Structure 1
Amino acid sequence: MDPPTRSWSIYNRTEITQRYEILERIGSGAYSDVYRARRLSDDLIIALKEIHDYQSAFREIEALEILQKSPNIIVLHEYFWREEEDAVLVLEFLKTDLASVIREAKRNWENGISVGEIKWWMIQILHGLDACHRNSIVHRDLKPANLLISSDVVLKLADFGQSRILLEPGFVTGDEHTHPHEQNTPSQTWMLQQPETIPESDNSNQEQITMSKEEYFKELDDLKAKDSVDETDKETNFNDGDTSCLATYTTSDMEDNPFKSSYSYEAESEGDRSGALTSCVGTRWFRAPELLYGSMDYGQDIDLWSLGCIFAELLSLKPLFPGTSDIDQISRIISTLGNLTEEAWPGCSKLPDYGKISFGKIENPLGLEAYLPNRSSDEIHLVRRLVCYDPASRATAMELLHDKYLNVNPLPVPVNELRVPSTNNGQDESSPGQWRDYKDMDSDSDFEEFGTVDASTTGTGFSIHL
């Protein structure tokens, strides 16, 4: 096919075009473009993800290299990266995702997703997330659109551009089946990596580097300084977490998709390589309350909150907290779970934005039961173990794998009984519904966007009466 009229760098890179035939561009966003391509050596269809943001590329490659032994993580076949060029990741090509399963069930399945199917998807997600957390990786953007499904119906976590490794390189919290990560720092010359084919004992095609935490971060900062993207511009742009390897995303799909990630990485917020984080990550509907209140001191617990929102959506076929702004998001959570107090969450009053917004006292919170009608007590209990204020109280992925709900009848269905759309089915213009109502969910909004509320100003912010 002819390349687009715009000069896309991937078409001009012979090290790529000599190995892959680029078939079509299937996804596009502010910081990456995704192409469907054919590997010339064996005709394998793959996805080429060209990432225009240095930091996102570094994090995605780093996380995927650590996690390649997990069957529930998307496969990184190899990648290309050299000085003053965008990184290009060669990923397995997956045709659909969990968001498409939910949409198909809502539109066409009379009884929704069966309990056996829900358990299958839950177990797959939990195994993938457990692999991340055992390796000290926090994904930071879990949502149905980032849970891709292979042709043999294996669910795989994808889109690690917002991920962070919480501990220094080389240290892994795992068991005997988890291999410590040996850091591969991108060099300033073209690199070709094949993590799934290179034996562990053969380092001839890779530059294996052992360095201290300080040396590692210094190397990252030195390379980052060479990046041509203006750091000040990044703060005003959106990070596109949906340019994964889905088969049917087009440019228009990306613009209308309500699950586009909301924020870019902030140079100042995460410039401290000793571990400072930013609260501006993830997608609003799945963002933990500590992020909504501005915390920069969080851990893997934010993924567990997102996981609870995903589980609830599988059960109800609709988002649990579809906030139209960050304030609306908080109000929906409080209306359901009750007031955010020290009793409910010890230490919450120390959150950066806790004193800026106050809500009227909720005498009778709705409870999760109101959003999960006709679901069993075990199902609601499982969601409650994740969607709770105190991060320390959220159940880990491994704990949930042993939850009785997943281990009693009806058991997960056999693979051949799973109903999966053949491709990502996108948004249906003729049936807008709630999916399209919140297409702007990721634009951080001012108080005025919250809508009509009973509010009053205070010395430090404002008070909202629900």
Structure 2
Amino acid sequence: MESHQPTKSWSIHTRPEIIAKYEILERVGSGAYSDVYRARRLSDNLVVALKEVHDYQSAFREIEALQILRNCPNVVVLHEYFWREDGDDDAVLVLEYLRTDLATVVKEAKRDGRGIGVGEVKRWMIQILCGLDACHRNMIVHRDLKPSNLLVSDDGVLKLADFGQARILLEHGYVAAYNGPALYEQNPVNPENTFHPPEGFTETHNSCQEAYEIQEQGTISKEEYFRQLDEVKAKKAVDETDKETNFYDGNASCLATCSTSDIEDDPFESSYSYEAGEGGDNRQGCLTSCVGTRWFRAPELLYGSIDYSLEIDLWSLGCIFAELFTLEPLFPGTADIDQLSRIFNVLGNLTEEVWPACSKLPDYNMISFNKVENPIGLGACMPNLSPDEISLVKRLVCYDPASRATAMELLHDKFFTEEPLPVPVSELWVPSTRSGQDEDTPGGWNEYDEMGSDSDFEDFGPGNFTSTSTGFSIQFP
């Protein structure tokens, strides 16, 4: 795959507005669209991560999402950012510095032969679910969940990171208007309605309890939740036909080198655009299927769907949970077609019997596989696990997106209230270094590598090509 190299000739070390506030210590990550440096804030010696993002849209998405989620204890903290109004310089995000990630936890546990105890697995899961629930309550779809994007602090706190591919599906006003699941709020207006995890969450994120505000109508069923989401999305697409969403309409006279801590009017405040127009996404609600990392990519994305929602994160979540249990990736495909083949060998072919709407996927009639007569099932991929553990993954790794359990539902699953209980965060084993990587792309601090549909048919072996009225069809053995 062709590497996308930054076109900037200058270095972050030469930017006076940054070096006046931060001492840059070392570069800790580098990807196609960003470079990350460990730095020290001069005012108080706090160690931070400076993420220099070379892609305008990625920077916009990450800043916007992190500002909405700024009070979530399981999402990485954005301290401030530097953004030049004229666009000549790349955005620099000042993030909290987290030394390791869940990929390293898995890799080191496997290498050392220690494994990850069930109580530890439950605690990691709860933290991931709290972070993802905050995203989905704010109608933010992450679109690139994987172990290396789940950063871990020295004291065991896990935080979702790398929101460069994230999408904000609704504006705050629209979410509030339809009285669905409540937004993530800094100061709940009615503490009596605060979300309390089920009994057995001993020491289970008191901060998570305090931070969630759930209105009574927030307990609607999953079906109603997504039905209302679809209605609001459709209404918004109509209402915003004439609204410019590429950038903000705020104060255009900001100083060219200011940071958000230096200005009163934050250009990203209240700019919650539905969809940016880059990479196939647009404000009418069309998304792109070229998102995420292959091993964790939902089947609808592999079939080219541009009409998906929060559920793609839930498939990724199931793959992550399976890897926590087994210390092995669930579907380690070498190419997109191989990825589908591995999924079919486990779950069986994707048909209208298991997901009635699957035939509407853009590439469904273009790519076909021989029938898998005896799919092995998820249980065979997770030997020696209990029925409850396998069931948890099955609730996420299923073809029909509407059948996938939400993060909120899983947080209330009895799995987390039964012995062995989740261990305290302070008892989690945290690696001393960051060395884990999933698949073939850098993660965590090294994101924005292009991992879209790879046009990789030739890598999978022979296939039968057939001309059709709409183009062609490819059948794989």
| TM-score (norm: length of structure 1) | 0.78
The question of whether the paired residues in 1 share the 8 Å contact of 2:69 and 2:184 is answered with no
User: What residue is the counterpart of 2:46 in the other structure?
Assistant: 44
User: What residue is the counterpart of 2:132 in the other structure?
Assistant: 129
Query: C-alpha deviations, 1:82-130, integer Å up to 9, x for none?
Result: 12211110000000000000000110033x1100000000000000000
Following superposition, the deviation at residue 205 of structure 1 comes to 5.6
Following superposition, the deviation at residue 217 of structure 1 comes to 7.5
1:15 aligns with 2:17: yes
Following superposition, the deviation at residue 359 of structure 1 comes to 1.1
Alpha-carbon separation, structure 2, partners of 1:382 and 1:126: 13
1:175 aligns with 2:182: yes
1:332 aligns with 2:342: yes
User: What residue is the counterpart of 1:366 in the other structure?
Assistant: 376
Alpha-carbon separation, structure 2, partners of 1:207 and 1:177: 21
The question of whether the paired residues in 2 share the 8 Å contact of 1:386 and 1:395 is answered with yes
Following superposition, the deviation at residue 418 of structure 1 comes to 1.2
2:319 counterpart (304, 309, 316): 309
Query: What is the CA RMSD across the aligned residues, in angstroms?
Result: 2.8
Alpha-carbon separation, structure 2, partners of 1:210 and 1:418: 38
| TM-score (norm: length of structure 2) | 0.77
Change beyond 3 A, Cα 1:438–1:15: closer
Following superposition, the deviation at residue 406 of structure 1 comes to 1.4
The question of whether the paired residues in 2 share the 8 Å contact of 1:217 and 1:273 is answered with yes
The question of whether the paired residues in 2 share the 8 Å contact of 1:279 and 1:292 is answered with yes
List gaps (5 residues or longer) in structure 1.
Answer: 1-5, 222-264, 428-433
User: What residue is the counterpart of 1:279 in the other structure?
Assistant: 289
User: What residue is the counterpart of 1:107 in the other structure?
Assistant: 111
The question of whether the paired residues in 2 share the 8 Å contact of 1:50 and 1:87 is answered with yes
Partner SS state of residue 99, structure 1: helix
Alpha-carbon separation, structure 2, partners of 1:44 and 1:425: 23
Change beyond 3 A, Cα 1:50–1:411: same
User: What residue is the counterpart of 1:257 in the other structure?
Assistant: none
User: What residue is the counterpart of 1:252 in the other structure?
Assistant: none
Change beyond 3 A, Cα 1:37–1:208: closer
Following superposition, the deviation at residue 403 of structure 1 comes to 1.0
Following superposition, the deviation at residue 175 of structure 1 comes to 2.6
The question of whether the paired residues in 1 share the 8 Å contact of 2:345 and 2:376 is answered with yes
Query: C-alpha deviations, 1:248-277, integer Å up to 9, x for none?
Result: xxxxxxxxxxxxxxxxx52xx11x222210
Letter in 2 for 1:283: T
User: What residue is the counterpart of 1:92 in the other structure?
Assistant: 96
Percent identity (aligned): 64
Change beyond 3 A, Cα 1:176–1:339: closer
Partner SS state of residue 323, structure 1: coil
Alpha-carbon separation, structure 2, partners of 1:331 and 1:438: 24
Following superposition, the deviation at residue 295 of structure 1 comes to 0.3
Letter in 1 for 2:313: D
Alpha-carbon separation, structure 2, partners of 1:55 and 1:98: 26
Following superposition, the deviation at residue 442 of structure 1 comes to 4.0
Letter in 1 for 2:100: T
Alpha-carbon separation, structure 2, partners of 1:164 and 1:152: 30
Alpha-carbon separation, structure 1, partners of 2:325 and 2:404: 19
Aligned length: 392
1:456 aligns with 2:464: yes
Please give the residue correspondences for 1:219-238 in structure 2 after superposition, counting only pairs within 5 Å. none
1:146 counterpart (131, 145, 149): 149
| More deviation, 17-26/128-137 | 17-26
Partner SS state of residue 409, structure 2: helix
The question of whether the paired residues in 2 share the 8 Å contact of 1:27 and 1:33 is answered with yes
Query: C-alpha deviations, 1:374-432, integer Å up to 9, x for none?
Result: 000000000000000000000000000111111111001123321110220247xxxxx
Q: Which has the higher contact order (CA 8 A, sep 6+)?
A: 2
Please give the residue correspondences for 1:71-90 in structure 2 after superposition, counting only pairs within 5 Å. 71-82=73-84, 83=86, 84-90=88-94
Query: C-alpha deviations, 1:158-185, integer Å up to 9, x for none?
Result: 00000001113544454375369xx976
Change beyond 3 A, Cα 1:370–1:90: same
List gaps (5 residues or longer) in structure 2.
Answer: 1-7, 188-246, 444-448
Following superposition, the deviation at residue 436 of structure 1 comes to 6.8
The question of whether the paired residues in 1 share the 8 Å contact of 2:171 and 2:274 is answered with no
The question of whether the paired residues in 1 share the 8 Å contact of 2:62 and 2:162 is answered with yes
Alpha-carbon separation, structure 2, partners of 1:165 and 1:289: 21
Following superposition, the deviation at residue 438 of structure 1 comes to 12
Following superposition, the deviation at residue 278 of structure 1 comes to 0.3
The question of whether the paired residues in 2 share the 8 Å contact of 1:284 and 1:441 is answered with no
User: What residue is the counterpart of 1:236 in the other structure?
Assistant: none
Alpha-carbon separation, structure 2, partners of 1:426 and 1:388: 27
Change beyond 3 A, Cα 1:363–1:438: farther
